[in-house]
Amino acid sequence: MSQVIPTITIQSQKLVLDNEKLRRANAKVTTAVAYKKGDLLTLSDANVLTHAADEKTWDVICGQDVTAAEATIKAASGIEIPVYYGGVFNVKAVSLNGTVLATAKYDAARAKATKNKIELSKV
- Write the pLDDT tens digit of every residue in 18-55: 777 889 999 999 999 999 999 999 999 999 999 999 99
What pLDDT score does 14 carry? 84
What pLDDT score does 17 carry? 80
Positive or negative: CA dihedral 75, 79, 81, 85 = positive
The answer to whether residue 12 scores a pLDDT higher than 90 is: no
- Write the pLDDT tens digit of every residue in 62-121: 999 999 999 999 999 999 999 999 999 999 999 999 999 999 999 999 999 999 999 999
pLDDT bin (cut points 50, 70, 90) of residue 2 is: low
What pLDDT score does 57 carry? 96
What pLDDT score does 68 carry? 97
Q: Please count the other Cβ atoms lying within 10 Å of the Cβ belonging to residue 12.
A: 9
Q: Which helix (H) or strand (E) holds 24?
A: strand 23-28
SS3 113: helix
* Residue 115 to residue 49: CA distance in whole angstroms: 19
What are the extents of the domains in the chain? 19-121
What pLDDT score does 27 carry? 98
The answer to whether residue 10 scores a pLDDT higher than 70 is: no
| CB distance 59 to 47 below 8 Å | no
| CB distance 89 to 49 below 8 Å | no
What pLDDT score does 91 carry? 96
Q: What is the DSSP letter of 43?
A: E
Q: What's the topology of domain 19-121?
A: Virus Head Decoration Protein; Chain: A, (2.40.300)
